[in-house]
Structure 1
Amino acid sequence: MCIVKKFYVADSHFGHERIIEMCARPFSSVDEMDETLIANWNAVVGDDDIVYHLGDFAMNLADEDRVRAIFNWLRGRKFLILGNHDYKRVNQLHPTLARLEWMATPTTSLETTDGGHRVYLSHYAHRTWPGQHKGAFHFYGHSHGNCPPIGRSRDVGVDLPDVAFRPRTFDELTKGMIE
């Protein structure tokens, strides 16, 4: 029997050269960054595991073959929570991302449960979220570590020191948050 794990990550920005300088990522090139992100992902995610990507999956979406190759190299069953860079125009998912084999249609937010806990997923940090006052968690991206958490919310972007450029499990992300 295969044990399926759930992972969470945001803001990979595959193919985004400028993100290296903008977020002080420790890479000398976009190729090095992409290769490291792919290797780190595949080191922890199994083929049957679930990965919730909380937005800004890739840049340079005009290079559909490259984006598709990266997507296919990444292990797991992938869900996309839409980020600001995942659109071609306002309210129009970029066709490159729309043609990838996501486990469900990409969406602006999603709720799941993990370890018996309710988890609200969005690219953006919310001051309040469904179930907040009943112990629910909220994972977000977008801010690259510049938006402080509130209660049981936190940034799951690759740039966070404890995320360290790889998807993380609920237990890893909530360590110290649960009494």
Structure 2
Amino acid sequence: MNFFTSDTHFYHESLLNSPVFSPRSQFLTFEEMNEKIIESWNNKVKQTDTVYHLGDISLAFTKPAHLIMTKTLEILNRLNGNLVIIKGNHDNMSLLKFLMANNYVTVNGELKFTIHEVGTRIKFNHYEVFLTHYPLMFGITKNKINLHGHIHNYSVHQKENINVGIDSPEIDYLPSGSVSFGAPLSESEIIHIIQAKRTDYLQRV
């Protein structure tokens, strides 16, 4: 089964009390935030599933830089599933190369990490789905959808754009309380959001 997420920002302490941008004030420490995301993720994702992570895995200004790369690898190795990672603006190439240097084959015979620097494309439920970190602007299309992250607690006012980040307000299109903080979204949940946002959008224009 495929899942989708973005902007986990593991170790990003200053995000917790940001006055404007994606505050996560429900957590007192980044350790608490990290553990909640891991718990929510593993309660939903099986070891044989695939999770598309659309960027901004972790963020901490530590020295030496190798320290945060090692800690990020430790976190990712605790997460169930194979990870297809789209590079975010806070994911430097050193981290991605470090992950590839420490890659391995998981229980389903697939590599733990697959890296795309810009994005990738898949198809499901008759949709052509473009997976990127930054939102794409398609214009009016029938069956093209852009799953993205980057904008945290904001959304693009276009029915073709779905923010799958863990802070996304578009999770509110799903039944209240059905997605625990940090849990990736399943394909069926994505379809529900697409249809609900389209209905909402058409009522607003």
TM-score (normalizing by structure 1): 0.84
Q: Which runs of 5+ in 1 are unaligned?
A: none
* Deviation digits for residues 14-51 of structure 1 (CA, Å, limit 9, x no counterpart): 11111212222121100000000011110100011010
Instruction: Pick one of 106, 112, 122 that aligns with 2:122.
Output: 112
Distance across 1 between alignment mates of 2:122 and 2:10: 25
Instruction: Pick one of 136, 155, 167 that aligns with 2:163.
Output: 155
Say which is worse superposed, 62-71 or 12-21, in terms of deviation: 62-71
Query: Which residue identity does 1:44 align to in structure 2?
Result: K
Instruction: Pick one of 84, 95, 103 that aligns with 1:79.
Output: 84
Say which is worse superposed, 61-70 or 30-39, in terms of deviation: 61-70
Larger Rg: 2
* Deviation digits for residues 46-65 of structure 1 (CA, Å, limit 9, x no counterpart): 01101000000112363233
Residue 86 of structure 1: how far off its partner (Å): 0.5
Q: Counterpart in 2 of 1:65?
A: 70
Identity of aligned residues (%): 28
Q: CA RMSD, aligned part only?
A: 2.2
* Deviation digits for residues 111-144 of structure 1 (CA, Å, limit 9, x no counterpart): 0122342211000011118xx6241211000000
Secondary structure, counterpart of 2:130 in structure 1 = strand
Distance 1:31 1:118, change over 3 A: same
Q: Which runs of 5+ in 2 are unaligned?
A: 104-111, 172-178, 200-205
Distance 1:15 1:96, change over 3 A: farther
Q: Counterpart in 2 of 1:142?
A: 150
Q: Counterpart in 1 of 2:14?
A: 18
Q: Counterpart in 2 of 1:42?
A: 42
**Contact preservation (8 Å) 2:38, 2:79:** yes
Residue 165 of structure 1: how far off its partner (Å): 1.9
Distance across 1 between alignment mates of 2:33 and 2:149: 18
Residue 82 of structure 1: how far off its partner (Å): 0.7
* Deviation digits for residues 57-99 of structure 1 (CA, Å, limit 9, x no counterpart): 11236323311110110000110011000115xxx66543443
Task: Answer 1 or 2: which has greater helix percent.
Answer: 2
**Contact preservation (8 Å) 1:67, 1:96:** no
Distance across 2 between alignment mates of 1:78 and 1:124: 18
Query: Which residue identity does 1:175 align to in structure 2?
Result: H
Distance 1:157 1:100, change over 3 A: farther
TM-score (normalizing by structure 2): 0.74
Instruction: Pick one of 173, 176, 187 that aligns with 1:170.
Output: 187
Distance 1:71 1:126, change over 3 A: same
Distance 1:32 1:86, change over 3 A: same
Query: Which residue identity does 2:23 align to in structure 1?
Result: A
